[in-house]
Amino acid sequence: MCGIVGFTGVEQAAPILLRNLQKLEYRGYDSAGIAVECDGKIVSARAVGKLVNLIEQTEDGKTITGTCGIGHTRWATHGSPSENNAHPHMSNNNKFAVVHNGIIENYIALRAELTELGYQFQSETDTEVVAHLLEYYDNGDMKATVMKTVSRLQGSYALGIVCSDHPGELYAVKNQSPLILGVGINEFFFSSDVTALITHTRNVIYLDDGEFAHITKEGIQIYDEFGKEIQKKISRIDWSLEDAEKGGYDHFMLKEIMEQPKALKSAVEPRIINNVINLSEMGLSDDDLKKIDNIIITACGSAYHAGVVGGYVIEDLCHIPVRVEVASELRYRNPPMNERSLLVVISQSGETADTIAALKLAKESGIKTLAIVNVVDSTISKLADGVLYTNAGPEIAVATTKGYTTQVAVISLFAVYLSKLTGKISDEYYSELVADIKSLPERCQRVIDLNTKVEKLAKQYYNNQSLFFIGRNIDYAVSLEASLKLKEISYIHSEAYAAGELKHGTIALIEPNRLVIALACYEKTFDKTMSNIKEVKARGAKVLGVAQEDNKRIISEVDSTLFIPQITPILMPIIETVPMQLFAYYVARENGCDIDKPKNLAKSVTVE
Ligand code: G6P
């Protein structure tokens, strides 16, 4: 939610800031702005709408000169997406400019206090208080001014600050929002995410909460919250540049769908050694795991849907109760947990505010926690007792694809590991499951090869304005994700329904030509789902049936079919979701939607 960047060096700052902001647009894209220090003055430009508007307004940054500046791409929280509310925000004396990602929770009180002191507010944002506090506390010593200002703030913030009295200098402050420093040669950067840095440098420093940095073109000094200088390790980013580029695809989403075999390989292959699952990297011991007799899984959005699949799989294999709850609900529910509980959080970004809050709640209760996360060194990965990285590589499209399938792969791997450890499955079944897990990349490629067929189906059905996804058991879990994918990028209304629940009310909405996508890949419930298909067909629905390739019986009952390769049932969700991602993609494309940047969304949701 919102991306911030900063640059100081010898080159012109504005074009670099704009290019780096482009890499962060997935974090928010309703307005953008930059501020550059030049000859003792701050010059800023802001524009409503996607970044391209700011790029046009500043002629690709050429109209703003100066070698030190900050930038922001916004997802509105406080105040509409207007130019006045766009960052950077300026102090009244125009000396300080500030960009911010996060929420200043005590901004109302601070705003009242500063208004009383005579400061004029130009925006409705929470951020503007920071600019005025900087002016208020300014005593010529920038470090002291920043520290005094930050001491007044409550909430989450990654801040970038530039001041006209301190040419060539940037300050970057981190508390509960991501902030990474880029270390180049005679040029230094900060950013909300490494994707904006890798075109410039692979050497980065991850700031921790409470830390702040003073950045000049000569170098970086980092301080702890008490102002004591500290040394931090420089990490090397091993993502390739191509990972963060479209690589010839029209959209990041399509590229990321196609990358799933590779991503699944990275998620599972290093963890299977001589046909045995090895999770020794996890940070939770076998003794810890053996004590577990109940699991709570929590996450948001698609990661929650991955958790729903995980719930079915763990219960099936480990025979222990699993509760799956969205994090925004769990955190306010006082859920029963005891010393034998394990909380599993799932998150692509590792920065989702509600998921972090639920994780902290569990930690306060003293229970063991495990995070399944993609972004290395993210907040969630650092907070949890154990971590399993999904190794999906950078995911740029707002609608997650490889992020989700790798989450499901990793939680399934964990379930198989736990079931073996606790003696719940036979050696034969274990070997069968391990072999099938190893085959996931190849089977995923086979569903990707259905691309042309799915594209045709999408062309046939793209103008339906409301539809249902139905399924039972893990097919139902997949239908939740299939429906969300379609909604978020094509804006078409759809609902995921447990097929058996239809007749308890929702069937009233089935009318002639209503499209129903019936997921019938789970063998155990295939016949039951077939009955539900008949029920909706009897009321005139058009049905697209999705089934395993040997279940040809479905053909006579539906209008169109999509057959997918067979795999052991508990791994089916990974294979089954891929054509649903492609379907959503092509439907959105037929409808002319902005696929990588759907309206109102942001990829990383760092606010409640
Ligand atoms: C946003 C994204 C979703 C994602 C969810 C959780 O809503 O658009 O794709 O599933 O946040 O994000 P996380 O980073 O925690 O997986």
Same domain membership, residue 263 and residue 236: no
Residue-wise pLDDT for 66-102, tens only, equals: 999 999 998 877 778 888 999 999 999 999 999 999 9
* Ligand 1 mutation target, pool 75, 348, 398, 407, most atoms within 8 A of CB: 348
From the number of C-beta atoms within 10 Å of its C-beta (0-12, 13-18, 19+), residue 262 rates as middle
How many A from CA of 390 to the centre of ligand 1? 14
Same domain membership, residue 236 and residue 254: no
Residue 565: C-alpha distances to residues 442, 444, 582 (Å): 10, 9, 16
Same domain membership, residue 478 and residue 382: no
Using alpha carbons, select from 146, 139, 91 the residue that is nearest to residue 119.
Answer: 91
Residue 95 known to be catalytic: no
Same domain membership, residue 265 and residue 189: no
Quick check: is 136 in a domain?
yes
Residue 10 pLDDT exceeds 80 = yes
Quick check: is 545 in a domain?
yes
Residue 510 pLDDT exceeds 90 = no
Same domain membership, residue 309 and residue 169: no
In this structure, what CATH number is given to the domain that contains residue 381?
3.40.50.10490
Same domain membership, residue 313 and residue 214: no
Same domain membership, residue 205 and residue 72: yes
Residue 110 pLDDT exceeds 80 = yes
**Which of 384, 409, 438 marks a domain boundary?**
438
Whether the CB-CB separation of 370 and 282 falls below 8 Å is answered with yes
CA distance 3 to 82: 17
Structure tokens at 477: 């879990």
Residue 590: C-alpha distances to residues 284, 447, 461, 466, 600 (Å): 47, 21, 10, 16, 20
Whether the CB-CB separation of 522 and 309 falls below 8 Å is answered with no
515-539 core/surface letters (b: 16 or more CB in 10 A; e: else): bbbbbbbbbebbeebbebbebbbee
Quick check: is 287 in a domain?
yes
Same domain membership, residue 100 and residue 165: yes
Quick check: is 443 in a domain?
no
Quick check: is 489 in a domain?
yes
Residue-wise pLDDT for 438-489, tens only, equals: 999 999 999 999 999 999 999 999 998 899 999 999 999 999 999 999 999 9
Same domain membership, residue 289 and residue 148: no
Instruction: Decide: helix, strand or coil at residue 350.
Output: coil
Residue nearest (by alpha carbon) to ligand 1 atom 1: 603
In this structure, what CATH number is given to the domain that contains residue 97?
3.60.20.10
More confident residue, 29 or 262: 262
Q: What is the pLDDT of residue 211?
A: 97
265-301 core/surface letters (b: 16 or more CB in 10 A; e: else): bbbbeebeeeeebebeebbbeeeebeebeebbbbbbb
Q: What is the pLDDT of residue 312?
A: 96
Q: What is the pLDDT of residue 308?
A: 98
Residue-wise pLDDT for 310-320, tens only, equals: 999 999 999 99
Same domain membership, residue 414 and residue 454: no
* Ligand 1 mutation target, pool 604, 606, 608, most atoms within 8 A of CB: 604
How many A from CA of 607 to the centre of ligand 1? 12
How many A from CA of 597 to the centre of ligand 1? 13
**Which of 248, 270, 286 marks a domain boundary?**
248
**Which of 438, 468, 494 marks a domain boundary?**
438
Same domain membership, residue 170 and residue 143: yes
Residue 603 known to be catalytic: yes
Average pLDDT of the residues of the chain: 93
Structural domain that includes position 463: 448-608
Please state the domain count of the chain.
3
Same domain membership, residue 268 and residue 123: no
φ and ψ at residue 386, rounded to 5 degrees: -130, 150
